[in-house]
Structure 1
């Protein structure tokens, strides 16, 4: 039965749910209106800051190119996110079970966390050629790996000793303990890591497109448009990048919600 009692804010849950959607949209509309007025009434040059109307016109005019570039960037980010997640989950599981692997992986992960994309992207693009997307996907995977590994390792260490002792008393194997207690306990941490990594994957793939590789992708067109002084068009590609990032974030947030709903309450 759905609750209709007022919450701590004095509103019913239904009203609060609507406000969580409407208030951010309202703030966005106000920001866009203020931006438009700043450019038109305030006399800010399009060279410095194109207006939302000019950007929207560029989106409409160049929609095929923008959608195609967004698909390229989104694909690279998705491949990197999936590969980075798989490697992070595997290595995190191994590090949680064997201390030598944990000791060896700690400095490596710390080093990977500070690798500058702007330095690595040209190197990978040169290594794998001008026609390969592998360099961009590798950078997205690298950016995804660190937060997922850290969250996975932390989650796998959250199992209560009393639960492990209980399963040991029932003569459960290590694999059974991992499947029934350890991994379900870690799932909320893993999904949080994936949600954080989703935005990093998009940003990393987009930034990597600035530094060579095959033509295509939002980063390439942002750089090209800015270099030719088509600033409104560059902002149109930036807007597409924001949309791609939001799609990834909302998709992983939905996945997190679905997965957590399937976890028994006593395993969280």
Structure 2
């Protein structure tokens, strides 16, 4: 039990204490220096707006979260599938590498309006595709790196047993690549939320945290705008924690069956 206590303090209590200290310092600076709300609202004021508009914030989180989740699933599945193909076929890898590299530098601010024009301003499709693109790149690169981490001796053993490429991939390559895949998914989980939220700034349906932030800021309700920002932070943390939980469960299950 004594060895477990430092880990608990480090993982749980230390971030909480640090967060409370930052909030108190923030509140003290805003109050002491009389900082205007349009520059930086006080955290207590943000918390009050968040509580008073909890239902509206939750509705915005639901819209943005749904688009981010759809984009996360689509981007992750495509990234993993194409990474497997690239690992098996060097020719395809050579053709896909420059395309994926180009996709990684496509700015969301330029892509979102184009997608709204293609799919219509009343559809959520553009936001979901923007999130999927943001997810695809890190998942693809991390998965591909993991697939190439198999030791040569293991590849030689698979050849000695005359297994097919798919059998070798399923038995050796994928288990080795699993930590890299989840690293990509953890990175992508937060990117999905950020990308879906940013895409909401450039058109589309009214719902979503991005639209709510811009609407509140344009009406000079800065405390409410920051309350929606707080909702986006909570949503991003929820996605990251969910990815971490899935990684823990899958890794534990895989370890038990070895």
TM-score interval, normalised by the smaller of the two chains: over 0.9
Q: Which residue of 1 aligns with 2:109?
A: 118
RMSD over aligned Cα, in angstroms? 1.6
Post-superposition shift, 1:116?
Answer: 0.4
Q: Which moved more, 1:140-149 or 1:57-66?
A: 57-66
Q: TM-score, length-normalised on structure 2?
A: 0.96
CA distance in 1, matches of 2:164, 2:96: 26
Q: Which residue of 1 aligns with 2:151?
A: 160
CA distance in 2, matches of 1:26, 1:16: 15
CA distance in 2, matches of 1:106, 1:170: 31
Q: Which residue of 2 aligns with 1:57?
A: 48
**3-state SS in 2 of match to 1:180:** helix
Task: Report the structure, 1 or 2, having the larger helix content.
Answer: 2
Unmatched 5+ stretches in structure 1: 5-11
Q: Which residue of 1 aligns with 2:12?
A: 21
CA distance in 1, matches of 2:176, 2:83: 14
Residues 12-34 of structure 1: per-residue CA shift (max 9 Å, x gap) = 23332233211111110011111
Count of equivalent residues = 258
Residues 70-97 of structure 1: per-residue CA shift (max 9 Å, x gap) = 0000110000000000111111010111
Q: Which residue of 2 aligns with 1:9?
A: none
Map 1:239-250 → 2, pairs under 5 A = 239-250=230-241
1:191 matched to 2:182? The reply is yes
Post-superposition shift, 1:262?
Answer: 2.8
1:77 matched to 2:61? The reply is no
Residues 102-152 of structure 1: per-residue CA shift (max 9 Å, x gap) = 011100011001000011111111221121000000000000000000011
Q: Which residue of 2 aligns with 1:43?
A: 34
Q: Which residue of 2 aligns with 1:34?
A: 25
Post-superposition shift, 1:167?
Answer: 2.3
Unmatched 5+ stretches in structure 2: none
Q: Which residue of 2 aligns with 1:205?
A: 196
